[in-house]
A and B are shown apart, each in its own frame.
Chain A
């Protein structure tokens, strides 16, 4: 693959609109919010790219969340995501329209696609960015991401290659507000595909029954760590979550102890969450955990060790035995939230 170094003429910010079965991954809208800021700083257009079959209607969402334009490719071969045809379509669009920035969600699909597309284009790709800004002097995209398990932050540049590609995890960027009635330009493109080029056939998709997979969209999370001590004590957290209509979460230690399955894990090797309120119960606050939950509006920490690092970042902290504090919280919330006259 030849190195791609000509960047003159590359203009505009693109967001890959990820859809599966006609449902858009919310991270795509979050990226339109981030993309809008970048496009504003650069004085260029913001466009979405939509690939699939029978998905034209999803462009409406892109307008409402800030896109000026949507490039649409529909084909039966694109109905189920497979790397090869999706990558070819995206590569062809980039070569034709030459955006300077291309953003994708760091989902399993987005990462699968981004790695293939960046390689085919011979350009740079920065994974899991937590901040994206424009250097006003050079117009370069400053891509900041955690490295070494979150112990280090690095700002990455892609100086001479275009587009500058980056992925961002779900819930890292805030959801932009909807601008109802906003419309943009739909650019529909015809491309020929054949089934053989997909090289793979999706036989079946099985939904996992576990509810915790929606952790990244939860508004209230009650997370337990090593300090929970036993599976029995986890019941106390379940009761608190139950009263608040919240979801359970876990630190790596709690998952490794077998108290909760890996789907519940918050942090560098788990999911990133952005709830309104995050209860960190018996979680000491290792950096690998903090990087996954620091975006919470309010963090409440309960820990019997007053020196626990979690207290340094928690909005509110209670020092005490969680076997006493958590039931007290549950009782107090139950009293305050008891259904009564509206």
Chain B
């Protein structure tokens, strides 16, 4: 029986976020909120392991009350229960404070049944930091296995998990001790389409909500106060100055362009 926690984050669809060039503030109005795509694959991986080895999957999210939506998505995909960590005191948490709060929540879940595996997406598409997963693993003392592209086996008796990690131009076959935290890439699996009964169940499910008082937290380590990094300013990305359009029909333009490249020694003329 595997006790699994999968961390999911609600993110804005980043393709839609813009900076207002006059005020230099984020324009988020009307931007759809989605489950972080990598986290959806983490849920899928957790549910598949449960189906293979038996156990229980808890979906865990930290965010505002509306983040409940991504937990219902996880329930629809097969998670057994969902916990939302929501509290005004959590607002402004950077990755260090976020990993602290999530780790405390996983410790709280572990008091009932010890957690064997934690899943996270490799990174969230809004922040792209890839820091919260390692942060949780470090705080819990779990084996840290990032960028997992395949899970070959879980050996519950001996307490090992066999995974493949996706590295630059390489695949690493690795055996890690349980408990472990895995961050996953999209190659790991194909997402299932939840069945209608599963969706109905998810829509009706009760989502547990925990605030700071449920977690025995050090107030100095959460929210803005617990975050060593702060944003000095945000701005629109600088624009590289544009150049010239080469005129003419394709052959003329090609000849002109190649001449320019040779002249500026970008391409060597032999």
Contact = CB atoms under 8 A, between A and B. Distances in A.
A315 interface: yes
Given A207-B170, A316-B260, A336-B269, A115 B228 contact: no
A19 to B, nearest CB: 13
Contacts of A329: 254, 257-258
B255 interface: yes
Given A244-B267, A333-B258, A147 B127 contact: yes
B269 A331 contact: no
B44 interface: no
A23 to B, nearest CB: 12
A339 B267 CA distance: 14
B131 A118 contact: yes
A79 interface: no
B124 to A, nearest CB: 11
Given A156-B230, A329-B258, A119 B17 contact: no
Interface string A203-242: 1111110100110000000000000000000000000000
A182 interface: no
B153 to A, nearest CB: 12
Given A329-B258, A342-B270, A127 B173 contact: no
Interface in A47-96: 83-84, 87
B146 A112 contact: yes
Contacts of B251: 328, 332
A114 B127 CA distance: 16
B210 interface: no
Contacts of B174: 200-203
A107 B236 CA distance: 26
Task: Among A118, A128, A277, find the residue whose CB has the most chain B CB atoms closer than 10 A.
Answer: A118
B171 A321 contact: no
B197 to A, nearest CB: 31
Task: Among A142, A154, A276, find the residue whose CB has the most chain B CB atoms closer than 10 A.
Answer: A154
B200 to A, nearest CB: 32
